[in-house]
Chain A
Amino acid sequence: MTTYMDHPDELGHFGDFGGRFVPEALMPACLELEEAFRDAWADPLFLDEYHHILKEFGGRPTPVTYCERLSSELGIELYLKREDLAHTGSHKINNVIGQALLTKRMGKKRIIAETGAGQHGVASATAAAKLGLECTVYMGELDTQRQALNVFRMELLGASVHPVTSGSRTLKDAVNEAMREWVSCVETTHYCLGSVMGPHPFPWMVREFQSILGREAAQQLVDRGVGTPDMVVACVGGGSNAAGLFSGFANSSARLIGVEAAGGSAIGIGSPGVLHGMRSMLIQSDVGQIEEAHSISAGLDYPGIGPEHAYLAASQRAEYFSAGDDEVLDALQRLSRSEGIIPALETAHALAWVFREVGGQIRRGDTVLVNLSGRGDKDVAQVLDILGARA
């Protein structure tokens, strides 16, 4: 039987995907990082410190919440893994604490990061402040305008925010700019990538840092007598929260479901390509130019997907669907009213799919675990604008 979500091959391949497609100048840094991560991840002292900080500072473990009212309305058993209750309001903290510790272990004093909506930027700035590192965040100029409050949050935390004016001035361009910057400061600076994407070892390493949420969730369901759910569901942009969740269930009988934004569905409408250091599924033109993704949620506004997801899709271990902006807005409101939890717009994609598919992909009576990957506070102003304009 095939084992899923274990190790990539020695060059970082997950089947046909992954690898390391970076300029020669960055190769030594990628190799150094891989070695440092392998070493740290096998070091009990590193693991102790990582888990200690996530517990004492990060608020882990996060609970699993049973949705009583929605379960009854939908005729399923619906559970949420509450990453919205982690520090900084999403699963992003799991990754940045790991990478910030690794930065110090490598003797580097500074991190750079890309961000779209600002969640990973805020988390990176937080980890940098906690561990005494300098931090510069690259953010598309359009996103700095759309998410001005998050820019201020990062600055409050002592980070500097660098608006990116190239290309479409969004997340994809922020990654380009962070990589360009990394070339010039690679000896002193670690690139704290925010998702399960980029060159090896990032997709594997970030998944490992996020696997804590999947392991916790699996154990929590066992502890409360639920056992293995029929289905685990997560939203997917780059795919870090989904990778973390899936890794807890990859070798169980649970169906693994990733939900992309309809306008950023790299599995649904993309084709194989090479971008940002990885071979994966990408949304691109008929001559191989990368296209812009479009989504109501800035966090899913990315034309690619992590290479392990591309592999899980190709091997049919996980299934990927998409949700559109309107049903996402409905799902956000429905969870808020029925369960008292305002989810992030990203997270609402996973919920929208569940609400839509009861009686379709989901049988009545099924047990469904959704990763509540982030809280919606950051999105309420945008949601108010949209709903207000419709009223």
Chain B
Amino acid sequence: MTSLDTTLAALRASGRKALVPYLVGGVSDDWLDHVRAAVHAGADVVEIGVPFSDPMMDGVVIQRAADVSLGRGTTPQSVLDDVATLDVEIPLVVMTYFNVFHHMGVTRAAGALHSAGVSGVILPDLPIEEQGEWRASCTDVDVATINMVAPSTPPARIEQIAKIAQGFLYASARMAVTGAASDEGHALDVVTRSRAVSDMPIYVGIGITTPEQAAAAARIADGAIVGSALVQRVLEGQGASGVEAFVGELRRAIDAG
């Protein structure tokens, strides 16, 4: 049990649905202000992307943001150094691809995440079969390893994943990479199957684009994750005020039920 498990269990017990905005680290000089703005507007967890050259699970918007960030000289360590200066009351989780931490060395990476004040990590290209060493290093320093389940994940495998999952289960609403979507996807199905085998908090992500979609996801699950729709606004130059306005809209829609 990590601190993130405790915090998110308490959040759910309070009856509040979690809102998890995603932002790309290092995308602009004032990116930490974007994080603060998201927190101020009612985020419960902020997911911070560490840019990687080959983001296989990301669609065009987040790819572009990663390119912009890397073009500014962002490194994994520079993102973590920035994050370490944040003084926010909510958990921060990092999303990236395994090579970034593999290259750093898993023990060192886990230590760096802990030092930066990161509570959990999402690595979409590190399935449970390959997680052993990573998970052990992170658990040692109280950093949760967050796992995804997809519409294609069969029940027996969801159970395997749920058994070792930490923090929350990231339920992918659709068979797609990150990015805008207009259809409903398979969120209800994935959440229902996950509920059947796990009492962990379940947050829905992938393709959650509008406040209405976020509210719908939060109705069937314990929270909603919104990435590309927010990053798109950042890329358009809307800045911290744009982030605050959009996250606020998401918050109100979710709270309205």
Tell me which residues across on chain B come within 8 A of A290, comparing CB atoms.
53-54, 99
Cα separation A185 to B119 with both chains bound (whole Å)? 34
Q: Report if B163 contacts A (CB, 8 A).
A: no
Q: Which of A14-22, A60-68, A138-146 contacts B (4 or more CB under 8 A)?
A: A14-22
Interchain CA distance A29-B130 in the complex, whole Å: 17
A27 interface residue (CB < 8 Å to B): yes
CB interface residues, A 119-139, toward B, < 8 Å: none
Mark contacts of A156-181 with chain B using CB atoms, 8 A cut-off: 1 yes-contact digit, 0 otherwise: 00000000001100001100100110
Chain A CB within 8 A of B151 CB: yes
Q: List chain B residues, Cβ under 8 A from A19.
A: 129-130
**Across the interface, do B125 and A277 meet the contact criterion of CB distance under 8 Å?**
yes
Instruction: Name the contact of A24 in the complex, choosing from B67, B100, B172 (C-beta under 8 A).
Output: B172
Residue of B54, B100, B176 touching A176 (CB-CB under 8 A)? B54
- Which residues of A10-40 are within 8 A (CB) of B? 11, 19-29
Interface presence of A288 (CB below 8 A): yes
Give the total of B residues in contact with A, Cβ under 8 Å. 42
The complex places the Cα of A22 from the Cα of B153 at a distance, in Å, of: 13
Shortest CB distance A187–B (Å): 8
Q: Nearest residue in A to B206 (C-beta to C-beta)?
A: A25
Whether A24 lies near B177 (C-beta < 8 A) is no
Q: Residues of A contacting B124 with CB < 8 Å?
A: 23-24
> Residue A275 at the B interface, CB < 8 A?
yes
Contact of A24 with B147 in the complex, beta carbons under 8 Å: yes
Inter-chain CA distance A306–B198, complex, in Å, is 38
Known contacts A20-B129, A284-B103, A288-B104; is-contact A184 B175 (Cβ 8 Å): yes
**CB within 8 Å for A274 and B125 given contacts A172-B54, A288-B76, A288-B103:** yes
A8: interface (CB < 8 Å): no
Does A231 interact with chain B (Cβ within 8 Å)? no
Q: Which of A19, A183, A186, A271 counts the most chain B CB atoms within 10 A?
A: A183
Asked whether B157 lies within 8 Å of A275 as measured between CB atoms, the reply is no
Among B59, B147, B152, B161, point to the contact of A25 (Cβ < 8 A).
B152
B77 in the interface (beta carbon within 8 A): yes
Which residues of chain A from 170 to 228 have any CB-CB distance to chain B below 8 Å in the complex? 172-173, 176, 179-180, 183-187
Q: Tell whether, in the assembled complex, residue B177 and residue A287 are in contact, meaning their CB atoms are under 8 Å apart.
A: no
For A24, list chain B residues within 8 Å (CB): 124, 127, 147-150, 152-153, 161, 172
Task: Tell me, yes or no, whether A3 is within 8 Å of chain B by CB.
Answer: no
Answer whether A23 and B57 are a contact pair too, CB < 8 Å, given A28-B154, A288-B103.
yes
How far, in Å, is A110 (CB) from chain B's closest CB?
A: 15
Question: At the interface, yes or no: B56 with Cβ under 8 Å from chain A?
Answer: yes
Chain A residue at minimum C-beta to C-beta distance from B77: A287
CA of A183 to CA of B148, assembled, Å: 14
* Complexed CA–CA distance, A291 and B103 (Å): 14
Q: Is the CB of B153 within 8 A of A28?
A: yes
A288 to B98, CA, bound (A): 10
User: Is the Cβ of A21 less than 8 Å from the Cβ of B127?
Assistant: yes
Q: How far is the CB of B113 from chain A (nearest CB, A)?
A: 15
Interface residues on A, range: 35 or more
Q: A179-B56, A183-B177, A184-B175 are in contact. Are A288 and B154 (CB under 8 A)?
A: no
Partner of B130 from A20, A166, A271 at Cβ < 8 Å: A20
Chain A nearest CB, measured from B16 CB (Å): 27
How far in angstroms is the closest Cβ of chain A from B206? 9
Assembled-state Cα–Cα distance A25/B149 (Å): 7
Tell me the residues in window 138-160 of chain B with beta carbons closer than 8 Å to chain A beta carbons: 147-154, 157
Assess the B77–A275 pair: CB atoms within 8 A: no
Bound-state CA distance A238–B67 (Å) is 25
Q: State A333–B102 Cα separation when bound (angstroms).
A: 43
Whether a CB of chain B sits under 8 angstroms from the CB of A104 is no
**Chain A hits for B67, CB < 8 A:** 167
Interface residue? B52 (CB, 8 A): yes
Whether, in the assembled complex, A273 has its beta carbon less than 8 Å from a beta carbon of chain B, the answer is yes
- Asked if A289 and B70 sit within 8 Å, CB to CB, the answer is yes
Judge if A276 is at the interface, Cβ distance under 8 Å.
yes
Give A22 Cβ to nearest chain B Cβ, in Å: 6
> A24-B149, A27-B157 are contacts. A275–B54 as well, Cβ < 8 Å?
yes
Interface assignment of B90: CB less than 8 Å from any CB of chain A: no
Q: Are A20 and B59 in contact, CB atoms less than 8 angstroms apart? A: no
Contact A25 B126, beta carbon cutoff 8 Å: no
Contact across chains for A273 and B149 when beta carbons are under 8 A apart: no
- A287, B126: Cβ atoms under 8 Å? no
Q: Does B63 contact A (CB under 8 A)?
A: yes
- Assuming the contacts A23-B150, A24-B149, A166-B60, asked whether A180 and B177 have C-beta atoms less than 8 A apart, the reply is yes
Chain B residues in 8 Å Cβ range of A276: 54, 56
Q: Which residues of A contact B157 (CB under 8 A)?
A: 27-28
Would you call A287 and B102 a contact (CB within 8 A)?
A: no
Q: State the Cβ distance, B121 to closest chain A Cβ, in Å.
A: 15
Residue in B99, B101, B148, B152 whose beta carbon sits within 8 Å of that of A284 in the complex:
B99
Mark interface residues in B94-120 (1 if CB within 8 Å of A CB, else 0): 000111111110000000000000000
A319-339 interface code vs B (CB 8 A; 1 in, 0 out): 000000000000000000000
B137 CB–A CB distance under 8 Å: no
What would be 7 A-B contacts, judged by CB atoms less than 8 Å apart?
A23-B127, A23-B148, A24-B124, A25-B172, A27-B127, A184-B177, A187-B152
Other A-B pairs, 14, CB within 8 Å; known A23-B125, A24-B148: A23-B150, A27-B157, A28-B157, A180-B57, A180-B177, A186-B152, A273-B102, A284-B99, A287-B76, A287-B104, A288-B52, A288-B100, A288-B104, A289-B52
Give me the interface of A with B, judged by CB distance under 8 Å.
11, 19-29, 166-167, 172-173, 176, 179-180, 183-187, 271-277, 279, 282, 284, 287-291
Sorted from nearest, which 8 A-B pairs have the closest CB atoms?
A288-B103, A25-B150, A289-B53, A287-B75, A274-B99, A290-B53, A24-B148, A24-B150
